[in-house]
Amino acid sequence: MRKRQEQGFTLVEIMVVLLIIGVLVTLALPSWMGARARAQARTCVANLRQIQQAKEAYALVTRARNGTPVSMNDLVPTYLQEEPRCPAAGGAPYTVGAIGSPPTCPTGLPNHSLNWNGD
């Protein structure tokens, strides 16, 4: 009688597969992190644009002049459904600023700013 040998993976084969997966993850991780940072920056700029548009609508309705201070309480819920928050700053609130000045992001990152030209 012949003994039947069990077919399976050896420890060396499993370790090689894990090594290959580890190398692939190491190569892909910076790409994923960069994509995440770019998405957060785009979301932040979109939020800043919404705040700026809400400020302009508020200024038109209330006939506020440049330099008139505006708070988020003036904009929510009439001009914005809810207070937007920066995804990169852990949900920190934006600084609304006065009429005529753009809102600012709490992170202070250069790609988290609004260059408002009315478009």
- Of all residues in the chain, the percent with pLDDT exceeding 90 is 70
DSSP letter string over the chain? -PPPPPP---HHHHHHHHHHHHHHHHHHHHHHHHHHHHHHHHHHHHHHHHHHHHHHHHHHHHTPPTT-B--HHHHTTTT-SS--EETTTTSEEPB--BTTS--B-TT--TTS-------
- Is 116 or 110 the better-scoring residue by pLDDT? 110
Q: Are 52 and 60 in contact (CB under 8 A)?
A: no
pLDDT tens per residue across span 35-89: 988 999 999 999 999 999 999 999 999 999 999 999 999 999 999 999 999 998 8
List the domain boundaries for the chain: 27-109
pLDDT of residue 119: 46
Name the pTM for this structure: 0.74
